């Protein structure tokens, strides 16, 4: 016999989309800002089980989906490029548009295993945690991509023509 399992999820106070699970929190725990995967709005609250009230972030913080181009400049060979989905944050800690924060995140702060698909480990030149393995090139806010005719790949190549170039950008 299979049993049903129910989980307590947050419902975004901005757009109503169901989001993060709450069950890992203890009663009375303050949480947030958390960001909605649907609209990007920030919210938080105090965990009270099913009676938890979620409130919109008073500072107006939000996350915006982006496409980020990264490259690994291989000596004597064409560069290896990655176009990854990510987020940029508009908040009191990371004001909108700070290129240095984006570069720092990809080149120093985080491991490529965290943002390259289903990777379990990435190793390069004997380093199994190769921060700085890829260089940040640029990013754009994720646009609506076409479903038909031209296709998503063609649209992405128009947005990132570097993907077709054998010349390094760095």
Query: pLDDT tens digits, residue range 98-110?
Result: 666 788 888 888 8
Helix, strand, or coil here: 155? helix
pLDDT category of residue 31 using cuts at 50, 70 and 90: very high
pLDDT tens-place string over residues 119-135: 888 888 888 888 888 88
Has residue 35 been placed in a domain? yes
User: What pTM, to 2 d.p., does this model score?
Assistant: 0.72
Q: Name which of 35, 32, 41, 38 is nearest 14 in CA terms.
A: 41
Residues 76, 91 share a domain: yes
Q: Tokens at residue 111, please?
A: 């491991």
Has residue 87 been placed in a domain? yes
Residues 88, 156 share a domain: yes
Residues 152, 70 share a domain: yes
| CA–CA gap between residue 131 and residue 135 (Å, rounded) | 10
Domain of residue 79: give its range: 63-164
Has residue 92 been placed in a domain? yes
Residues 93, 39 share a domain: no
Has residue 2 been placed in a domain? no
Helix, strand, or coil here: 117? coil
Residues 138, 89 share a domain: yes
For residue 165, whether the previous peptide bond is cis, meaning omega lies within 30 degrees of 0, is no
Residues 127, 88 share a domain: yes
Residues 153, 70 share a domain: yes
Residues 72, 52 share a domain: no
Residues 133, 88 share a domain: yes
How many domains is the chain built from? 2
Average pLDDT, the chain: 85
| CA–CA gap between residue 98 and residue 129 (Å, rounded) | 25
Has residue 151 been placed in a domain? yes
pLDDT of res. 27: 94
Has residue 3 been placed in a domain? no
């Amino acid at each position: 016999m299979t049993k049903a399992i129910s989980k307590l999820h947050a419902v975004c106070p901005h757009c109503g989309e169901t989001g993060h699970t709450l069950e890992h929190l203890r009663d009375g725990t303050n949480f947030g800002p958390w960001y909605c995967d649907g609209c990007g709005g920030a919210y938080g609250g105090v965990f009270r089980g099913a009676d938890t009230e979620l409130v919109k972030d008073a500072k107006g913080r939000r996350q915006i989906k982006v496409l980020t181009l990264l490259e690994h400049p291989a000596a004597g060979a064409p560069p290896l490029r990655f176009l990854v989905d990510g987020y940029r944050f508009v908040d009191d800690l990371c004001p909108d548009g700070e290129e240095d924060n984006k570069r720092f995140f990809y080149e120093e702060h985080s491991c490529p295993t965290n943002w390259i698909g289903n990777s379990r480990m990435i190793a390069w030149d004997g380093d199994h945690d190769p921060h700085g393995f890829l260089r940040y090139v640029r990013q754009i806010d994720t646009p609506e991509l076409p479903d038909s005719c031209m296709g998503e790949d063609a649209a992405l190549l128009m947005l990132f023509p570097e993907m077709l170039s054998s010349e390094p950008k760095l």
